[in-house]
Chains A and B, each alone.
Chain A
Amino acid sequence: GQNIDQPTEMTATEGAIVQINCTYQTSGFNGLFWYQQHAGEAPTFLSYNVLDGLEEKGRFSSFLSRSKGYSYLLLKELQMKDSASYLCAVRAYGGATNKLIFGTGTLLAVQP
Chain B
Amino acid sequence: EAQVTQNPRYLITVTGKKLTVTCSQNMNHEYMSWYRQDPGLGLRQIYYSMNVEVTDKGDVPEGYKVSRKEKRNFPLILESPSPNQTSLYFCASSSGEGTSSYNEQFFGPGTRLTVL
Which segment of B11-19, B41-49, B67-75, B79-87 sits at the interface? B41-49
Once A and B bind, how many residue pairs between them come within 8 Å at the CB atom? 63
Residues of A within 8 A of B107 (CB): 42-44
A78-103 interface with B by 8 A CB criterion: 87, 89, 91, 93-100, 102-103
> What 0/1 pattern do residues 25 to 40 of B give for CB contact below 8 A with A?
0000001010100001
Chain A residues within 8 Å of chain B by Cβ, number = 26
Does residue B115 face the partner (Cβ distance < 8 Å to A)? no
Name 17 interchain pairs, CB-CB below 8 A, sorted by A.
A30-B99, A31-B103, A33-B105, A42-B90, A42-B107, A45-B105, A89-B43, A94-B99, A96-B96, A96-B98, A98-B48, A99-B45, A102-B35, A102-B43, A103-B42, A104-B40, A104-B41
- Which residue numbers of A lie inside 8 Å of B, CB to CB? 30-31, 33, 40-45, 48, 50, 87, 89, 91, 93-100, 102-105
- Which residue numbers of B lie inside 8 Å of A, CB to CB? 31, 33, 35, 40-45, 48, 50, 58, 90, 94, 96, 98-100, 102-110
